[in-house]
Amino acid sequence: MNKFYYHFLLSLIILVSCKTKNEIDIISQDKMVKMLLDLSIIKSINNLNYEKNQLVISPEDFYILQKYNIDSLKWEYNKSYYSERPKILTLIYARVQDSIEKKIDSLKDLKNR
């Protein structure tokens, strides 16, 4: 009887501890747009270029991850996920670009007042 419980418990621990890439939540496109917009703004302020394959998470990236409650593993997985889907990524970046242009226009409007 104890042997059965031992094997059951061990099997349960193994099943619970194994997390595949597919089990990691995919960040919604809307949230990705907001995150990439914030990253773009921060990187622009610091005159840094955002590189897709950057291995080290910069302080700016860490701030954005905290803001959106995303851990670094999930962020790296999602960057890879969307990079493998160029049509979706193109749409996301188009929305980021639109958002940046709207922010620039609103700042120009404020300046002209």
Structure tokens at 87: 């049509």
Site of tokens 């962020």: 75
Task: Please enumerate in sequence order all residues whose Cβ is within 8 A of that of 48, keeping only pairs 6 or more positions apart, or say none.
Answer: 58, 60
What is the Cβ-side half-sphere exposure of residue 35, based on CA atoms within 13 angstroms?
A: 21
Higher pLDDT, 35 or 20: 35
5: confidence class by pLDDT, cuts 50, 70, 90: very low
pLDDT per position as a tens digit, 57-104: 677 778 889 999 999 889 889 988 998 998 998 999 999 999 999 988
Ramachandran assignment for 47, one of left (phi > 0), alpha (psi -120 to 50 degrees), beta (any other): left
Q: Does residue 39 contact residue 65 with C-beta atoms inside 8 Å?
A: no
